[in-house]
Amino acid sequence: MPCAHPRRQGALRLEKGEEISSLVLKAKDATDLSAPSARLVTRPLSFKAVGRRLMWRQTQGRAMGKQKAAFHCELCRRTFFSGRGHVYGLKHQETLRNILDNFLEKVRDARKVLKEARVERYDFTEHDQNFWCYCCKTEVKKHVTNGNIAVVYGGFLEHFESSEHKKKTSAFWWENKANIKLKDQFSLSPEDYEKFKAAVTKALESYEEKEDEYIKEGAERIREVEQQRRELVQAALECLFLRRTRTEWITLPVSFR
C-alpha cells in the first residue's frame, strides 16, 4: 500500500526553474499537521517527544517573561510587571501631576527673588534647609550661606541653572511622559541667572551699607551707655563724699567746729 505522506510522494522535489524559497514553502506544507494528508499518517507522540515539546513551551514562556520584566516606579513607589507601559496609565499620570504641581509652587517662590534678591543675616534654623529635586533625585541646598550672611534661594536657582539638572530634567520628562509644555518652568536660563547674580550684587552692597549703619548706631549706643555709667559712678562718689564729710562734721566737738 503506498504511503500517503507528502514527503514520500515527491512533494519536496525541486522542479526546473523553481526557487529555493518554493521548496521551503513545500517543506512547511508537508510538515503541517493540520493538512488532511498529514492527519492520516499521524501517530501518537512518544514520551520523549512530549517532554521535548513541554521543554520548548517552557523556554518560550521564559523568553516572553524576559520581555516584560519587573519595573519599579519611583514616583508611585510600587513595582509593576507590565513593563514600562505603566507610565502611560491614569494612576501614574495623576501621581506625576500632583508631584509637579507641588514642586512648581516652590519653583515660583524661588523665581520671585530673580529681580529682587534677598540677603539676610545667617540663621541656622532657616538658612540650612534643603529641598528634594525630583528630576535629579537628590537633596540640594536651598540657600547659599557662608555662616555670616545668606542669599535666599541662591542654592535653589543655582541648581536649576546647572547643565546637570537640565540633562536629568530631560530624562525625567521622557521616562515619565510628563507634559512637555511645563518642562521649561523647571529650569533656569543662563540669561535669567545672570540677572539674578546682578541683583545679588546690589543686595549685598545694600546689606553692607545697612550693616555699617547698624554698627555705627551700635557704637553710638555703647558710647552713650558708657557715658551714663561714668556719670552714675561720679554721682555716687560725690554723694558718698558729701555723706562722709557731713558725718565727720557732726561728730566733731563743738569747740572744733
- Nearest 5°: phi and psi at 132? -95, 120
Cα maximum dimension of the chain: 176
- pLDDT the model gives residue 209: 86
Tell which residue, 195, 200, 196, has the closest CA to residue 120.
200
Q: Which residue has the higher pLDDT, 256 or 243?
A: 243
User: Looking at the predicted structure, is the pLDDT value of residue 106 above 60?
Assistant: yes
Domain range summary for the chain, segments of one domain joined by +: 115-245
- Distance CA(193)–CA(117), nearest Å, equals 11
- Would you state the cell numbers that stand for residue 43, as one nine-digit string? 501517530
Task: Give me the mean pLDDT over the 155-184 stretch.
Answer: 95
Summarize the confidence of residues 155-177 as an average pLDDT: 95
Determine which of 72-76, 108-112, 159-163, 251-255 has the lowest per-residue pLDDT on average: 251-255
pLDDT: which is higher, 231 or 112: 112
Q: Per-residue pLDDT averaged across 54-63, rounded?
A: 62
Strands 78-80 and 119-121, how do they pair?
unpaired
Q: What DSSP character marks residue 133?
A: E
Helix or strand (DSSP H, E) at 90: helix 90-111
Look up the pTM and report it. Answer: 0.58
Average pLDDT over residues 54-67: 60
Closest CA to 143 of 132, 131, 130, 154: 154
DSSP string spanning 36-70?
HHHHHH--PPPHHHHHHHHHHHHHHHHHHHHHT--
Local confidence band at 83 (pLDDT 50, 70, 90 cut-offs): confident
Q: What is the pLDDT of residue 8?
A: 46
pLDDT value at position 115? 86
d(CA 227, CA 230): 5
Mean per-residue pLDDT of the chain: 78
- In the predicted structure, residue 121 carries a pLDDT above the cut 50: yes
Tell me what percent of the residues of the chain surpass a pLDDT of 90: 41
Residue 6, pLDDT score: 47
In whole angstroms, give the CA distance from residue 53 to residue 194. Answer: 69
pLDDT of residue 33: 46
Q: What is the pLDDT of residue 251?
A: 61
| Residue 22 pLDDT | 55
